[in-house]
Amino acid sequence: MTTLQRRASTTSQNAWLSRLNKQFPDLIPPIIAIAIFLLVWQLFSWTPGATLPGPIQVIKDTWILILYPFYDKGGTDKGLFWQIFASLQRVAISYSLAAIMGIALGILIGTNKMMSKALDPLFQLLRTVPPLAWVPISLAALRQNEPAALFVIFITAIWPILINTAVGVKQIPQDYNNVAKVLQLSRKEYFFNILIPAALPYIFTGLRIAIGLAWLAIIAAEIVMSGIVGIGFFIWEAYQNNAVSEVILALVYIGVVGLLLDKAMGWIETRIVPEGQK
């Protein structure tokens, strides 16, 4: 009887897992991978001489931060929700400006060979500068942490948008241009009916890359800029106080937010870019 009960229980569990896998085919593999990662991490934290806390210890040490993300005691003493929200505000402002200017300059370079030859070397030079290298320059020029952080995000995010837009414009099939000439389309009609639809997949590729770079840039900028509310400065302050568990928790939150930003941009792309152009 006991054997039959075990078999029935095993069969029931397998059937439940099978149904779950059918309903959410993309959910099971990452859950298994995360579980294995956490297990290995925990085992390593128990080894002699280990300095980093395991996931269990991290949860114990940061339980208050997890339970109360909305607390606000003034200044930089705020919960993780407000820290992330402040960083996202900076990203939203600078990323929007980078998208507008990047697309505009990309179209200009893509449609004008002379401008492309003149500006391409300069852009290739500037885009290779790491985000952290812009921090002292922006602080020296702008004298304030907030505008300096916004500039660092902007200068980091604009390049993939600009370059991908320019490539998309240059890759417009010649047949499209021939049709535009035959139909005698005006510049406005050509812009909205030929250029933008044809370059849209490239533009979204740049936008998707840029959103990740913008999120990375603000974290790097906030870490070295003191006295501003943001998840980057939170990490630096926690490190200064030797609160390693708080640093790890913040890294998890940063990763989750970055993933959500990428997925959101991908979702927008599926709603705007026609299926045949992807």
pLDDT given for residue 274 in this prediction: 67
Q: Please enumerate in sequence order all residues whose Cβ is within 8 A of that of 242, keeping only pairs 6 or more positions apart, or say none.
A: none
User: What single-letter DSSP state applies at residue 74?
Assistant: S
Residue appearing with tokens 């996931």: 55
Q: Please give the Cα distance from 254 to 262 (Å, whole number).
A: 12
Domain 66-277, what architecture?
Orthogonal Bundle (1.10)
Contact 230, 90 (CB under 8 A): yes
Q: Which of 115, 109, 197, 196 is nearest to 159 (CA)?
A: 109
Q: Which of 267, 111, 155 is nearest to 204 (CA)?
A: 267
* Alpha-carbon dihedral angle through residues 40, 42, 44, 50, given to the nearest 10 degrees: 160
What tens digit of pLDDT does each residue of 68-85 get? 888 888 777 888 899 999
Reading the block at residue 93, the tokens are 């402002």
Buried b (16+ CB within 10 A) or exposed e, 48-63: eeeeebbbeebeebbe
3-state secondary structure of 251: helix
Q: What sign for the dihedral angle of Cα 174, 175, 180, 182? A: positive
- Residues of the chain scoring pLDDT < 50: 1, 4-5, 8
Q: Please give the Cα distance from 81 to 234 (Å, whole number).
A: 11
pLDDT given for residue 98 in this prediction: 95
Q: Please give the Cα distance from 253 to 263 (Å, whole number).
A: 15
Contact 103, 124 (CB under 8 A): no
pLDDT given for residue 276 in this prediction: 58
Position 145: which residue type? N
pLDDT given for residue 278 in this prediction: 56
Residue appearing with tokens 């200017």: 101
Contact 42, 54 (CB under 8 A): yes
Q: Please give the Cα distance from 90 to 217 (Å, whole number).
A: 11
Reading the block at residue 39, the tokens are 């297990």
Cα distances (Å, whole numbers) of residue 169 to 24, 151, 256: 38, 27, 33
Q: Please give the Cα distance from 201 to 275 (Å, whole number).
A: 10
What tens digit of pLDDT does each residue of 210-237 get? 999 999 888 888 877 777 888 888 998 8
